[in-house]
Amino acid sequence: MRQKTTGEQNSAGRDDAPADTPLVLVEKVRGAMRIAATCRQAASLGLSAGLALADARAQVPVLSVTDHDPAADLAWLERLADLCDRFTPLVAIDAPDALALDITGCAHLFGGEARLLAEVSRFLARWSDDVRLACGDTPEAAQALARFVPAGVSFESEDATLRRLPVAALRIEEETQTALIRAGLKTIGDLAMRPSAPLAARFGADLVDSLDRLLGSADSRITPRRAAPALRFERRFAEPIARTEAAMAAIGELAEEAAVELEQRGMGGRRFIARFFRSDGRTYDLATESSLPMRDPDVLMRLLNERLAALADPVDPGFGFDMIRLAVPRIEPLTPAQLQLEGGTIAQEAMAELVDRLSTRLGRGAIRRFQPHDSHVPEQAALTLPAVDLPAPAAWDAPQQGEPPSRPIHLFDPPQPIEVIAEVPDGPPHRFRWRRSQHHVVRFEGPERIAAQWWKHAPGKSPGLTRDYYRVEDARGRRFWIFRHGLYETERPDPRWYVHGLFA
Amino acid sequence: MPRSESLESLKTRIAGIERARSVETAAVAGTGHLGIDAALGGGLARGRVHEVFAAQADDAGCAAGVVAGLAMRLGVGLGVGLGTGSGGTLVWLREAQAERQGGRLHAPGLVEIGLDPARVIIGVLPDPLAVLRAAADVVRCPEVGVAVVELWREPRLLDLTASRRLALAAEASGVTVIGLRIAAVPSPSAAQTRWQVAAAPSLPMEANAPGYPAWRVELLRQRGRPSGGDWRVEWNREQACFADADGVADFGPDAGGFAAIAAAPSGAVLPFSAGRPAGAPKDNRRAELRRAG
């Protein structure tokens, strides 16, 4: 496995100070302003991270100072990671200042590791003037080489170079580092020569682990930001294309390629992402989901066009797109459909297509289906879940024969408070006031007592109050579901009342 | 051209535009209630737009119940608990605001009136425009059985053009559209029928418990047939039909004017013969009222 790490100075992306004054980023550490990062010029003047700002000012009187903003740094890193997506699908963020790219099986596409490295360097030069790149057998090796080997130094072999690096390259705790140096173990090589058992006994097992990972004797992988899609189809353009319609036409061609590939595998996609890479590095995503696996390019293009029309932030071609990709992250088996005489399959597919189209346009949460949930708490007895996630409808239990409805058709969430007059405090309601009008209870049934879920709460903590539900009908015939919240005297001295739903 | 001839040709042209004749040819689904079916000339027309108005905002639950009942009569979502249910799919489009104010649709409550929630797809959409746009898509899909378009108050977008567009799409695809309107006043529309639903006292069960859902259903208007008619109906879950809710109900002090209507034996008001002029049933009912009062 070959890995590559790019090291970034975190001030690189947002240098708004005059070019000739040294720039430092400061943050408040235990009440004192301390330097979090420096630009190259400031570093050459002897300033470094951790120095108090007052001391730095004493050393370098002309200093431009900006607040350190870790969130903006991370956002910037995310954007760079998006850009690096064009080299390999496996990109990981190594916060706060590095990216790790898994280039296993990708380098040959660019003509070898060295050519790929040059390409990445040329590409990232547009975004930052202080990028350090290195290839390594493991992610740890790559980041150690990127951080500790000065640029332009060529090394004979990766292993030999790693062995000459200081122990700080292990990225271990400061105390362990100090202890190692005191013991005279200053380089990786010094550690690698020694047997691991005494090292682990004295400095901890973590040290041996990181040493093994650095030298490649233990397996180590990056955790990519996104899992590699099951299938992806790309088109690169020598000349950027400047019209969104032309880009969508290219996506259409990719959709046809995808359909052929999916058909050969007997699969269909559940999720599709079209990604536009703008030549200046910005990317746009159009994502769509389907409730049943599908591969029909026309249907897919219809969904993607829906998505395009529904975007809050429209796709701006700017100077044009130089690459377009269609990824299929989720695939599931899709056998060729057998047409039923009565049209059963077709009806199901047509419904699924309608659901997909509406969910794509209005958001996946807007179109829902009911799903039963095993709970006696009324508001949790049914879930409404996005219909794209539930292609198969759930089965519901039949109602009790010969009984009028015991559950309302409309449920208020949260329940609405009402003022109730009852003849006795723990008795049925007599009259209540809801939405500024009085309702006189003519008929009632109850109480149906629903206790709180005490088994879901830690012992000693109150699980909530018991509810006594009544079905009541007022003089006009409106039927309500109201409850007393808390048992009179045992749970509450003065229980409140709520209307929880309306019956049909 | 003689005057009468040009008038005739104009009439045929207008008839062609209005598609007045297609009304007769529409398939109907009986409601199970003899009086209502007689007034509708057999039952509720499929592939048309029907409007159901809640008489007051707090009759929203009752109006939803009637809509669910009509959907079941149209063959959607019957047979809950018998596996996957039968018939087409019910797509119910609502506004997010309605969901917050009027309560969300409760699946166990749908089960309790016999509608299988597995056959229901809910759309909770941000505004009336989104509801109407989604409705246009839903109505065009012939695999949908019934589309319910629930709108609160009077959205400016729901004008005659919008409702006409829905009606034409429904006619083309055969999807029956039920417009559920809450806190709204009827306005001109292309609907085939227009109903108003209010709560009605149910027939009490043992120990004076509230009984089966009962409603006062009023036919405000229908196309091509005499309008008018006012029934007290009960929903029979086991038979999945609307039944006549006669019997004596006791009324409280604030039951108001229509206690008299409900108390009048419904058989005396109904059924209306199909050929009766539009004005007649109303007068007839008023006479009944006078007698009852």
Which pLDDT does position B54 carry in this prediction?
93
Cα–Cα dist B70/B49, whole Å: 12
Q: Say if A378 falls within a structural domain.
A: no
Q: pLDDT tens string for chain A (504 positions)?
A: 345 555 444 444 444 445 578 888 888 888 888 888 888 888 888 888 888 888 888 888 888 888 888 888 888 888 888 888 888 888 888 877 888 888 888 888 888 888 888 888 888 888 777 788 888 888 888 888 888 887 666 667 788 888 888 888 888 888 888 888 888 888 888 888 888 888 888 888 888 888 888 888 888 888 888 777 788 898 888 888 888 899 999 999 999 999 999 988 888 888 899 999 888 878 888 888 888 888 889 989 988 998 888 887 888 888 889 889 999 988 888 876 655 555 555 677 788 888 888 888 888 889 999 999 888 899 888 888 998 887 677 788 888 888 899 999 999 989 999 999 988 888 889 999 998 899 999 999 989 999 888 888 878 777 888 999 999 999 999 999 999 998 888 888 889 999 999 998
Which residues are CB-contacts of A364 (< 8 A; sequence separation ≥ 6)?
A: A289, A386, A388, A389
A338 and A427 share one domain = no
Q: Which of A302, A443, A474, A482 to mutate to test the interface with B (most CBs of B within 10 A)?
A: A443
pLDDT tens column, B73-118: 998 878 776 654 456 889 999 999 888 888 899 999 999 999 989 8
Q: How far apart are CA B225 and CA B23, in angstroms?
A: 10
Whether A349 and A460 map to the same domain: the answer is: no
pLDDT at A9: 43
Q: Would you call B236 exposed, middle or buried from its count of C-beta atoms within 10 A (0-12, 13-18, 19+)? A: middle
Give how many domains chain A has, as a whole number: 3
* Nearest chain B alpha carbon to A351: B143
A:B CB pairs within 8 Å:
225
| B254 closest CB neighbour out of A398, A472, A475 | A475
For position A52, which CATH number holds?
Answer: 3.40.1170.60
Location of structure tokens 């009962």: B214
Residues of B in contact with A381 (CB under 8 A): 107-108
Report yes or no: B192 and B220 within 8 Å, Cβ to Cβ.
no
Contact B210 A471 (CB under 8 A): yes
Q: Could you list the residue range(s) of the whole structural domain that residue A12 is in?
A: 3-136
Residue A191 in any domain: the answer is no
Q: B196 pLDDT exceeds 60?
A: yes
B89 → chain A, closest CA residue = A351
Compute, in degrees rounded to 10, the torsion defined by CA atoms B77, B120, A294, A324: 160
Torsions phi, psi for B256 (to 5 deg): 75, -160
Encode burial over B120-140: b for 16+ CB neighbours within 10 A, e otherwise: bbbbbbeebebbbbbbebbbe
Among A151, A152, A150, A216, which Cα is nearest to A188's?
A216
Cβ separation B201–A355 shorter than 8 A: no
- The residues, any chain, with a CB within 8 Å of residue A292's CB and separated by 6 or more, are A268, A334, A348, A349, A352, A391
- Minimal CA separation from A393 to chain B, in Å: 5
Rounded Cα gap, residues B45 and A418, in angstroms: 42
The domain boundary residue, chosen from A136, A154, A173: A136
Is residue A89 domain-resident?
yes
Question: Could A367 and B60 be called an inter-chain contact, meaning their C-beta atoms sit closer than 8 Å?
Answer: no
What is the pLDDT at residue B1? 57
* A369/B235 CB distance under 8 A: no
Q: Which residues in B lie closer than 8 A to residue A369 (C-beta atoms)? A: 118, 120-122
Does ipTM top 0.85? no
Closest by CA to A170, choosing from A220, A216, A213, is A213
| Binary contact (B122, A435; C-beta < 8 A) | no
Last residue of a domain, one of A84, A106, A136: A136
Distance from the B7 Cα atom to the nearest Cα atom in chain A, whole angstroms: 45
> Minimal Cα distance from B135: which residue of A?
A358
For CA atoms A409, A413, A418, A424, the dihedral sign is positive
Q: Which residues of B touch A431 (CB under 8 A)?
A: none
Q: What percent of chain B has pLDDT over 90?
A: 42
Residue A439 Cα, gap to closest chain B Cα (Å): 9
Say yes or no: A349 and A417 in one domain.
Answer: no
Q: Average pLDDT in the B183-197 region?
A: 92
For A281-331, the pLDDT digits (tens) are: 788 888 888 888 888 899 899 889 988 888 878 888 888 898 899 999 888
The verdict on residue A330 lying in a domain is yes
B76 burial class (0-12, 13-18, 19+ CB within 10 angstroms)? buried
- Taking contacts as CB-CB distances below 8 angstroms, the residues of chain A near B88 are 347
Instruction: Write out chain B residues lying below 8 Å of A361, CB-based.
Output: 134
In the sheet with A367-372, reading across from the earlier edge strand, the strands are A382-386, A367-372, B120-125, B89-95, B144-152, B176-182, B49-54, B193-199, B214-222, B230-236, B241-244
d(CA B17, CA B14): 5
* Contacts of residue B145, Cβ cutoff 8 Å, sequence gap at least 6: B71, B74, B75, B76, B77, B87, B88, B89, B90, B119, B175, B176
Residue B48 Cα, gap to closest chain A Cα (Å): 20
Residue A54 lies in a domain: yes
**How does DSSP classify residue A259?**
H
Residue A296 located in a structural domain: yes
Tokens (6 digits) for B54? 């809640």
CATH 3.40.50.920 correct for B26-292: no
Last residue within a domain, chosen from A95, A112, A136: A136
Nearest-neighbour CA in chain B from A347: distance (Å): 6
Rounded CA separation A87/A228 (Å): 13
Question: Least CB-CB distance to A347: which of B59, B81, B143?
Answer: B143
Mean of pLDDT values over B267-281: 39
Q: What are the structural domain ranges in chain B?
A: 26-292
Domain-located, residue A168: no
Beta-carbon count within 10 A of A100 CB = 27
Contact criterion met (CB < 8 Å) for B208 and A443: yes
Read off the CATH number of the domain in which A280 is found: 3.30.1490.100
* Contact by Cβ (8 Å): A140, A207: no
Do the domain assignments include residue A226? no
pLDDT at residue A338, as a whole number: 58
Work out whether strand A3-8 and strand A437-450 pair parallel, antiparallel, or are unpaired. unpaired
Asked if A369's CB is within 8 angstroms of B122's CB, the reply is: yes
Mapped onto helix, strand or coil, the DSSP state of residue A379 is helix
Chain B residue closest in CA terms to A364: B123
Q: What is the 3-state secondary structure (H, E, C) of chain B?
A: CCHHHHHHHHHHHHHHHHCCCHHHHCCEECCCCHHHHHHHCCCEECCCEEEEEECCHHHHHHHHHHHHHHHHHCCCCECCCCCCCECCEEEEEEEHHHHHHCCEECHHHHHHCCCCHHHEEEEEECCHHHHHHHHHHHHHCCCEEEEEEEEECCCCCCCHHHHHHHHHHHHHHCCEEEEEEECCCCCCCCCCEEEEEEECCCCCCHHHCCCCCEEEEEEEEECCCCCCCEEEEEEECCCCEEEECCCCCCCCHHHCCHHHHHHCCHHHHCCCCCCCCCHHHHHHHHHHHHHHC
CB-count burial class (<10 Å; 0-12, 13-18, 19+) for A73: buried
What is the SS3 assignment for A91? strand
CA–CA distance, A110 with A101 (Å, rounded to integer):
14
Q: Which residue from A399, A435, A440 is facing B237, i.e. has the nearest CB?
A: A399
Residue B103 and residue A387: Cβ atoms within 8 Å? no
Q: Which tokens is B156 given? A: 């400016």
